[in-house]
Chains A and B, each alone.
Chain A
Amino acid sequence: MNDPLVARVIAKLLMPMILLFALYVQFHGDYGPGGGFQAGVIFASGIILYALIFGLDRARLAVPPRLLRRLVPAGVLLYAGVGVASMLRGGRFLDYNVLNPAHPTHGQHWGIFLVELGVGITVTAVMLTIFYAFAGRGRQRS
């Protein structure tokens, strides 16, 4: 694309809304449809839209691959870490009730919140990693 002005303007308008919507889906999953998985995919598509319109290099500057390679395992570790934390507090693996023994439902809220965050982080990072890997190779050939 030579100078996709319309695409640039529309993308700039849409980007914050897509990312905000992803965060909404992430943190509103307790009340409405959605959760970490969907939010991660939406967040990643926001960044991919940026990469498609403004070029891979600028996207790599905004979200460096080095950061992604750390975020991919970080999400899984956060998820499993919640399980280990509940074990350390005397419960079973991923038993969120013990995270707040006085209010078990608060513990459940915390557990679900953190676990979904872990899912969101890993999904976003993996989707972007796959996209970068594909797009980077395509550019190499040409």
Chain B
Amino acid sequence: MNLQAELLINAALIVMLTTTALAIARLRSLFAVAMLGGMYSLISACLFVQMDAVDVAFTEAAVGAGITTVLFLGAFALTSSRGSDTSRRHSLLGLIPTLLVGALLIYASLDMPWYGTADTPVHAHPLTTEYLVNSRSSIGVPNVVTSVLASYRGYDTLGEVTVIFTAGLAVVMLLWTRRKKEEPEG
């Protein structure tokens, strides 16, 4: 793809992302917010694909746009599907830390190397060559992301699965106790 088309696609996606975020901030109907949240994830996934991070995009699309939306809808069924109106003073007060944190993040991002630069620490580190070049012969799996996640960094992934396991356990302990008590009756 030529550079201009890429720039155009990126710009369009960023505009869509910002518009969605602004719409989420303005809306009071939480059902619409959940749907727009899914859309936000989907647009982010498109941006990740654009940056050649297909595995990340895949996760974002499946988790952000899929499961999270459904869980939000489930939560609305338990609580309320309408957000309460915040007073003007409160929203102005919230605007100050938001702008400060945003400015701080943008300032921090200026320190990051330019996207796609070849001589960054990430690309210059010898480990990168080890993973990208030698994984084919030592692991034999074409997708380097998989060999890093499941083999080179198998420890970390085991930790991640344990985190998911713990999360599931916590939800069962918090939400399932009452149901179990009432199950024999119903």
Contacts and interface: CB of A to CB of B under 8 A. Distances in A.
A115 interface: yes
Interface in A36-85: 37-38, 41-42, 44-45, 48, 52, 69, 72-73, 75-76, 79-80, 83
Contacts of B74: 131, 134-135, 138
Interface magnitude class on chain B: 35 or more
Nearest to A121: B161
Given A32-B143, A83-B154, A108-B151, A122 B179 contact: no
Interface magnitude class on chain A: 35 or more
Dominant SS among interface residues on chain A = helix
A115 B154 contact: yes
Interface in A89-118: 93-94, 96, 104-106, 108-109, 111-112, 115-116, 118
Given A133-B175, A140-B178, 17 more contacts: A29-B146, A35-B149, A37-B160, A44-B67, A45-B66, A69-B172, A79-B161, A105-B139, A108-B138, A108-B141, A109-B140, A111-B151, A112-B150, A115-B150, A118-B161, A125-B168, A126-B164
Q: Which 10 pairs show the lowest CB-CB distances between chains A and B?
A: A105-B140, A126-B168, A134-B74, A138-B77, A133-B175, A33-B54, A94-B154, A41-B62, A112-B150, A30-B141
